């Protein structure tokens, strides 16, 4: 974690002393050092995506045989295969568990209602929901607070280079799986699709730890993955696999990872990601075939959502296009309003959740009771509708799912609101998108369901349960679209089911602000390629309209949580500054051969993760930049106590006899060498250590007069953690300062220059 940069020089006696700051002001950057994880404020740390080219790394690459290179490549493909298989299994388990638990709850309630025991039916319905909600909230509150919410903002921040406490830990994976099952089965207006993205990323992180000595998984080849760069690629594959498992949309999963999640992309990663999602799709298809015929309990034709509208007739005129444009524009406005209200609710709930686990559980149970009252109470306000004649489906519906729920109605009648509320969220969407049931839902039914789902989706997101936004947004959007389609009626050639699909697309575009991936996901979900032109039009319009008001929901959450996310573009005010204008100081640097006591003192008093190494006479003719050394590498070197009594070069050969490159690799789950693990004797404090073998001799540098806007783009595109700033003119120290992620954040820059307009 980069907190501030101090300047230290070594005198002729080898003593460390502070010299005058290299900067105009002795500035320290304390912004964006912490972020909200769950309801707790935790320190954050940047990730090292840069290749550390020191002597050990170079020797390791030179010594690799063709067999070892083949092992590395093969193992990478094996890991993405395992990620796909594991994510597919978890996706199937989630759907199986939700369908059976929710189905049992609905069966119990329905049987009591058939016996006209309405109060007892409500008590059973509400109690089941509250118990499931309490279990989901307790898992998040006591085991892993980081598992609450969607998880997509955290994955997005991680792939941008930000690591926060426990966001990809095994405990988070456990709670994400079971908490999502209980939360969705509890009847909350939430989805399991966002949590599946986080689940896929957690699975990939678990496989990408590079082995574990604790569990005796120390196969030689796994050492190659002890770096953030390879883990980033695996987690990108895991995020794509999560989307593929949630929506049965393999191509959509790849595009979602490319458009929304990943900050860096290359062709090799595209191929591996596509392979991972293909594995998920094949596995899920096999499970669906196996479960046909009731072999998996109540999990059958539903479950893995697939809203087939391929049978609908897609024909439209110029009048229809005007209606579609209006749907997109209004959907963009409603989507931006949804984001605004979600932001306010999240800020309010964060105050409640800070009070402790009991308050988190109480809040979740309260929202569960509210949802139960709406789901059970609102259908009583809906009129009973006679079953349509010449209907292929049963009316009223017999069983858990179906378009025609009897509720309290007499025989041969159904309740429109009950058909939507007394179903799983997936079945409700399927009913709304159905093209074979024109006239099934009255305008009052659709309007009431839209208002209820819109409001419940807002007040539910932010409680301490794993919850996704995809399904609430699709529910609200599809009910809004069907409402518009029913209003237009015979004036348009498109039927109400297709308008429902376009309404869902408009809401997704207005909230998520992605276009290509959402378009493909919806096409894969609905199996109707003929809707492509209209869907593209709606998504483009809704996104353009919503962008006039605020940012996408995930971008808002990233900002609200305080995660220092670097955008792909620089801010306008950065063009008025140069790199040296935002440096924090003074700077901490080491000599190429440094005294052990000086290093230990710097590590204890400073929280920097990177230190410039400067060669000085007699090791060079003049002071010159040797490179950059990482804090984690210094800790490993100090623990092994490879010291000398004299200030001399040890040479790389001696160090290579004792160390291998993977000894300096990143430890799994952050369990590396800590400062408390060092046991340095008093006499060893006066000894010296050669830093050259572990120094990255080719760090990225920029001149101090470079535009800050260019430096920000350079930093982000290369995925850096440290960017050295060197002087433009001779006669200055070889390093002016270090730019880190935090120096590019608006809070830091506008704090230094408050007269700047952040939008100009």
pLDDT at residue 648 greater than cutoff 90: no
- Print the SS3 string covering 625-643: EEEEEEHHHHHHHHHHCCC
Q: Which domains does the chain have, with CATH numbers?
A: 56-293 (1.10.3080.10), 318-561 (1.10.3080.10), 572-752 (3.10.580.10)
User: CA-to-CA distance for 680 and 151, rounded, in angstroms?
Assistant: 42
Distances (CA, A) of 427 to 97, 98, 482, 522, 606: 15, 12, 15, 16, 56
Q: Give backbone dihedrals phi and psi of 10, rounded to 5 degrees, phi first.
A: -105, 125
User: CA-to-CA distance for 752 and 754, rounded, in angstroms?
Assistant: 6
Total count of residues recorded for the chain: 760
Q: What is the pLDDT of residue 480?
A: 96
Q: What is the pLDDT of residue 344?
A: 95
Q: Is 232 exposed, middle or buried (0-12, 13-18, 19+ CB in 10 A)?
A: buried
Structure tokens that stand for 406 in this block: 């009897």
Q: What is the pLDDT of residue 59?
A: 82
User: CA-to-CA distance for 289 and 126, rounded, in angstroms?
Assistant: 34
Alpha helices in 489-531 (DSSP H): 496-512, 516-526
Share of the chain above pLDDT 90, in %: 54
Q: What is the pLDDT of residue 301?
A: 52
The total of other beta-carbon atoms located within 10 Å of residue 372's CB is 21
Distances (CA, A) of 479 to 7, 449, 498, 737: 62, 7, 11, 56
Distances (CA, A) of 63 to 56, 642, 656, 660, 693: 11, 23, 12, 11, 16
Structure tokens that stand for 708 in this block: 């800050």
Band the pLDDT of 35: cuts 50, 70, 90: confident
In the sheet that 723-726 helps form, which strands lie side by side, from edge to edge? 701-703, 723-726, 737-739
pTM (2 d.p.): 0.91
pLDDT at residue 377 greater than cutoff 70: yes
Contact 173, 203 (CB under 8 A): yes
pLDDT at residue 660 greater than cutoff 90: no
> Nearest-CA neighbor of 416 among 457, 387, 456, 394?
387
> Nearest-CA neighbor of 478 among 489, 488, 467, 470?
470
Q: What is the pLDDT of residues 594-644, one digit of tens each?
A: 999 999 999 998 888 999 999 988 888 888 999 999 998 999 889 888 888
Average pLDDT, whole number, for the chain?
Answer: 86
pLDDT at residue 20 greater than cutoff 50: no
Band the pLDDT of 219: cuts 50, 70, 90: low
> Nearest-CA neighbor of 343 among 41, 554, 31, 34?
554
Residues 6+ positions from 578 with CB-CB distance below 8 Å? 704, 705, 706, 707, 708
**647: DSSP letter:** S
Collapsed DSSP state (helix, strand, coil) of residue 397: coil
Structure tokens that stand for 255 in this block: 């595009």
Structure tokens that stand for 758 in this block: 């952040």
């Amino acid at each position: 974690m980069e907190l501030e940069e101090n300047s230290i020089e070594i005198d002729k006696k080898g003593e460390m002393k502070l010299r005058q700051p290299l900067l105009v002001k002795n500035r320290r950057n304390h912004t964006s050092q912490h972020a909200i994880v769950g309801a707790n404020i935790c320190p954050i740390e940047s990730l090292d995506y840069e290749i550390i080219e020191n002597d050990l790394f170079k020797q390791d690459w030179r010594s690799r045989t063709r067999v070892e290179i083949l092992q590395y490549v093969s193992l990478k493909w094996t890991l993405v295969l395992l990620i796909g298989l594991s994510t597919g299994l978890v996706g199937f388990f989630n759907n199986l568990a939700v369908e059976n638990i929710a189905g049992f709850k609905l069966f119990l309630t329905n049987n009591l209602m058939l016996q006209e025991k309405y109060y007892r039916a409500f008590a059973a319905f509400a109690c089941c929901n509250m118990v499931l909600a309490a279990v989901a909230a307790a898992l998040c509150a006591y085991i892993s607070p980081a598992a609450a919410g969607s998880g997509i903002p955290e994955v997005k921040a991680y792939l941008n280079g930000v690591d926060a406490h426990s966001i990809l830990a095994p405990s988070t994976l456990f709670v994400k799986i079971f908490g999502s099952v209980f939360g969705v089965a509890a009847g909350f207006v939430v989805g399991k699709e966002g949590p599946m993205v986080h689940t896929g990323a957690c699975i990939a992180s678990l496989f990408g730890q590079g082995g574990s000595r604790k569990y005796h998984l120390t196969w030689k080849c796994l050492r190659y993955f002890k770096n953030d760069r390879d883990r980033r690629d695996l987690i990108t594959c895991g995020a794509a696999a999560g989307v593929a498992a949630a929506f049965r949309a393999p191509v959509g999963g790849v595009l979602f990872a490319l458009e929304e999640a990943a900050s860096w992309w290359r062709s090799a990663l595209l191929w591996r990601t596509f392979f991972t999602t293909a594995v998920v799709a094949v596995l899920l298809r096999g499970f669906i075939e196996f479960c046909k015929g009731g072999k998996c309990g109540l999990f059958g034709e539903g479950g893995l959502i697939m809203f087939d509208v391929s049978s609908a007739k897609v024909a439209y005129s110029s009048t229809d296009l005007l209606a579609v444009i209006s749907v997109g524009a209004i959907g963009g406005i409603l989507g931006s309003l949804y984001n605004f209200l979600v932001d306010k609710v999240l800020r309010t709930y964060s105050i409640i959740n800070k009070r402790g686990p009991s308050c988190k559980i109480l809040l979740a149970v309260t929202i569960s009771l509210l949802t139960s009252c709406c789901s059970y109470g609102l259908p009583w306000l809906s009129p009973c509708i006679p079953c349509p004649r010449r209907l292929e489906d049963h009316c009223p519906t017999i069983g858990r799912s179906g378009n025609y729920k009897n509720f309290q109605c007499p025989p041969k009648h159904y309740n429109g609101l009950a058909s939507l509320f007394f179903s799983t969220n997936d079945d409700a969407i399927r009913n709304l998108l159905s093209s074979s049931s024109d006239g099934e839902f009255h305008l009052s039914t659709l309007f009431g369901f839209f208002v209820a789902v819109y409001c419940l989706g807002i007040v539910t997101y932010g409680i301490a349960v794993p919850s996704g936004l995809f399904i609430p947004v699709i529910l609200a959007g599809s009910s809004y679209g069907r409402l518009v389609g029913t209003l237009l009626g015979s004036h348009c050639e498109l039927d109400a089911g297709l308008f429902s699909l376009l309404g869902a697309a408009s809401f997704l575009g207005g909230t998520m602000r992605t276009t290509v991936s959402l378009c493909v996901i919806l096409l894969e979900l609905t199996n109707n390629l003929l809707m492509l032109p209209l869907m593209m039009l709606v998504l483009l319009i809704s996104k353009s309209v919503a962008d006039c008001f605020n940012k996408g929901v995930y971008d808002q959450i990233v900002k609200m949580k305080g995660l220092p996310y670097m955008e792909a573009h620089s801010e306008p005010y950065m063009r008025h500054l140069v790199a040296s204008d935002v440096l924090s100081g003074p700077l901490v640097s080491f000599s190429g051969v440094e005294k052990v006591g000086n290093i230990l003192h710097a590590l204890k008093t400073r929280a920097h993760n990177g230190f410039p190494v400067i060669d000085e006479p007699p090791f060079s003719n003049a002071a010159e930049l040797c490179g950059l050394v990482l804090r984690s590498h210094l800790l490993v070197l100090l623990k092994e106590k490879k010291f000398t009594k004299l200030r001399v070069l040890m040479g790389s050969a001696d160090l290579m006899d004792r160390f291998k490159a993977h000894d300096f690799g990143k430890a799994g789950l952050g369990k590396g060498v800590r400062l408390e693990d060092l046991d340095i004797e008093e006499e060893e404090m006066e000894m010296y250590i050669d830093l050259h073998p572990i120094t990255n001799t080719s760090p990225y540098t920029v001149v101090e007069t470079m535009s800050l806007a260019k430096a920000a783009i350079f930093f982000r595109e290369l995925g850096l953690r440290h960017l050295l700033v060197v002087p433009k003119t001779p006669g200055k120290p070889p390093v002016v300062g270090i730019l880190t992620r935090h120096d590019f954040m608006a809070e830091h820059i506008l704090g230094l220059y408050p007269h700047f307009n952040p939008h100009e």
